[in-house]
Amino acid sequence: MFFRVPIRFSMNPYLKNQDFEQTRTLIVRLFYGFAILIWIFKYTNGVWLHQVAHPTLAYITPEEVQWLWYSTGIPSWILATDLRALTVDLLLLASMLLAFCYPRQRWWPPLFSGLLCTYCLTGYLYYFARGHNLSGFLLMSFLPWFQSHRRFAAYFQFMRYFLLYILCSAALWKLYNGVVWDYDNQLPFILKMQHAEYVVHHPDAWRSHWVRWLLDQPALNLILLKGAWVLQLSCLVGFFTKKFDYFLLTAVVLFFIGDWLVMNLPFYEMYILVITLLPWQAVRLAAKPPSLISVV
């Protein structure tokens, strides 16, 4: 009798049961349910394609992708008539609904991502949708493409690190440029610049009163802004361990709420990324590499 130790790849037995499929279905439906709510919210804000049809000026930057998209003539062709723009809007909504109802279907996620990319590029070109708001949402739309357990789990983990990178890099940039130490001088200017348009158009709204009160509380402002910087910087921990993901989840949610209240920066398309900080046990097990050595 002897022991033979061959090196081979063996599948994680956890992947053979139905738990992962149920978890994947839940995550996919959470994403598309959120996408439907975002799309309805955009309609109420008047930023569907057919609601901004016939734009006169394009906001063209030196970015190669934007120049290439503009040179194809597709955005101007879509927005030339209300019917074409409305068709794209309805196709985008239909792709969300179908992907939500049939989360294991392969065809609807690529259709949704393609239409969403069309909306993002066109919106960025004509200045009714900002790229940094939609970047995480667009990247998240590729997650349902993956049917393989391992690839789905790997991309899900990638989106977790992407969220942490966005917040952590912003904190490090503020530290490098010394902005975090100069809030005393910049604070009133930042608040007035961020809220001026809203206060002018809605002088009696609760938020306008909140901004005026906030301007009279420089000490509180300083605490809030530096506290937000600390919340951003805390995301650095997530690159080394997942033990504190509950804390990071709380920190990210608080940061998003504070960013909206204090800085008037509603990155609501990014909110869906917080689900990557939840303890999806099936996803984490699937992301682990298979056993390389087994004893026969």
pLDDT surpasses 80 at 230: yes
Say what the pLDDT of residue 296 is: 35
In the block, residue with structure tokens 């978890």: 23
Can you give the C-alpha Rg of the chain in angstroms? Answer: 23
Q: Which of 158 and 198 is assigned the larger pLDDT?
A: 158
Tokens of 204: 């009696």
CA distance linking residue 296 with residue 234, whole number of Å: 46
How many angstroms separate the CA atoms of 102 and 32, rounded? Answer: 11
pLDDT band at 94 (very low <50, low <70, confident <90, very high): very high
In this prediction, residue 2 carries a pLDDT of 39
Which of these ranges, 57-66, 88-97, 108-117, 165-174, has the smallest mean pLDDT? 57-66
Q: What is the mean pLDDT of the chain?
A: 82
Rounded CA separation 239/198 (Å): 37
- In angstroms, rounded to a whole number, what is the distance separating the alpha carbons of residues 121 and 131? 8
In this prediction, residue 12 carries a pLDDT of: 46
Q: Percent of the chain beyond pLDDT 70?
A: 85
DSSP string, 104-131: T-SSHHHHHHHHHHHHHHHHHHTTSS-H
Per the CB < 8 A criterion, the answer to whether 249 and 274 are in contact is yes
Question: pLDDT at residue 27 above 90?
Answer: yes
Q: Is 230 left (phi over 0), alpha (psi -120 to 50) or beta?
A: alpha
Q: What is the mean pLDDT of residues 116-123?
A: 90
Asked if pLDDT for residue 203 goes beyond 70, the answer is yes
Please give the average per-residue pLDDT across 178-184, as a whole number.
69
Least confident of 28-32, 74-78, 89-93, 185-189: 185-189
Would you say residue 16 has pLDDT above 60?
Answer: no
Please state the rounded mean pLDDT for residues 142-157: 91
Q: How far apart are CA 28 and CA 99, in angstroms?
A: 8
Q: Which of 235, 237, 239, 276 is nearest to 254 (CA)?
A: 235
Q: Which one is predicted more confidently, 135 or 291?
A: 135
Q: What pLDDT sits at residue 128?
A: 72
Q: Where are the domains of the chain?
A: 20-145, 158-289
d(CA 286, CA 21): 11
Q: How confident is the model at residue 202 (pLDDT cuts 50, 70, 90)?
A: confident
Mean pLDDT of 57-79: 81
DSSP annotation of 205 reads S
- Of the CA atoms within 13 Å of residue 211, those in its CB half-sphere come to 26
Categorize the per-residue pLDDT at 201 as very low, low, confident or very high, splitting at 50, 70 and 90. Answer: confident
> What local confidence, expressed as pLDDT, does residue 264 receive?
81
Sequence-separated contacts (24+) of 239-246 with Cβ below 8 Å: 239/161, 239/164, 239/168, 242/284, 245/277, 245/278, 245/279, 246/277, 246/279
Kindly indicate the confidence band of residue 7, based on its pLDDT and cuts at 50, 70 and 90: very low
For residues 13 and 29, the model is more confident at 29
